[in-house]
């Protein structure tokens, strides 16, 4: 049976020849799958674990330890011109939701603008980055699957701003399957 994309969905990360479709059989037929370790979670607006990572205000809103490692959710508040260096996640996918402002994303070889309400999927193994291009602070929510990468933010955020130097951050990132793509000579 062919799969058809939903209206308005763009495949931005791969050329047609690189696109793969993977179908999984359900675990049971006509029975819901129950995960006993998962419980409903409510994080109020001012809740979460607030961190400062490379000068960015980050908030781990849902931690993987609370979802059995299935998913984590991290929010960042971004200043004009800010954003992470290009990087590759080797263990997890990221899905971004723009909450406020305007961002320039690069995923693979595609660069595009994402405004409030936009959703961006950055699959593992694909180089990506974003830069906040708005004039007032912006906010973005990132859903990480599977969970675990939130530990990177916590580990870097536990360092003082003086200790958050790029070589140290690169080394911490390696523990989490993160490859930071630094320019030559950096």
Q: What is the pLDDT of residue 152?
A: 98
Q: What is the pLDDT of residue 91?
A: 97
Q: What is the pLDDT of residue 30?
A: 64
Number of H helices, E strands in the chain: 2, 11
Q: How far apart are CA 62 and CA 66, in angstroms?
A: 7
Q: How far apart are CA 52 and CA 77, in angstroms?
A: 10
pLDDT digits (tens, 9 = 90+) for 133-146: 999 999 999 999 99
Domain boundaries, the chain: 46-178
Q: Which CATH class is domain 46-178?
A: mainly beta
Per the listing, tokens 């530990």 go with 151
Q: What is the pLDDT of residue 38?
A: 74
pLDDT digits (tens, 9 = 90+) for 11-44: 444 444 444 433 344 555 666 666 666 788 999 9
Q: What is the pLDDT of residue 27?
A: 53
Per the listing, tokens 């205000």 go with 57
- Span 148-163, mean pLDDT? 97
- Span 86-92, mean pLDDT? 97
The pTM (predicted TM-score) of the whole model is 0.80
What average pLDDT is seen over the chain?
A: 86
């Amino acid at each position: 049976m062919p799969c058809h994309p939903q209206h308005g969905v763009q495949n931005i990360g791969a050329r047609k020849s690189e696109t793969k479709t993977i179908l999984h059989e359900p675990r049971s037929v006509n029975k819901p799958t129950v995960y006993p370790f998962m419980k409903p979670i409510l994080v109020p607006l001012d809740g979460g674990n607030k961190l400062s990572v490379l000068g960015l205000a980050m908030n781990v809103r849902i931690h993987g330890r609370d979802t059995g490692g299935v998913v984590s959710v991290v929010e960042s508040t971004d200043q004009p011109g800010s954003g992470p260096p290009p990087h590759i996640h080797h263990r997890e996918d990221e899905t971004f939701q723009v909450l406020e402002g305007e961002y320039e994303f690069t995923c693979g070889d595609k660069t595009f603008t994402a405004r409030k309400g936009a959703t961006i999927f950055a699959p593992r193994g694909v180089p990506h980055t974003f830069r906040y291009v708005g004039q007032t602070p912006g906010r973005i929510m990132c859903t990480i699957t599977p969970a675990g990468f939130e530990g990177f933010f916590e580990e870097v955020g536990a360092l003082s701003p003086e200790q958050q130097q790029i070589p140290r951050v690169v080394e911490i990132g390696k523990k989490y399957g993160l490859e930071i793509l630094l320019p030559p000579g950096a």
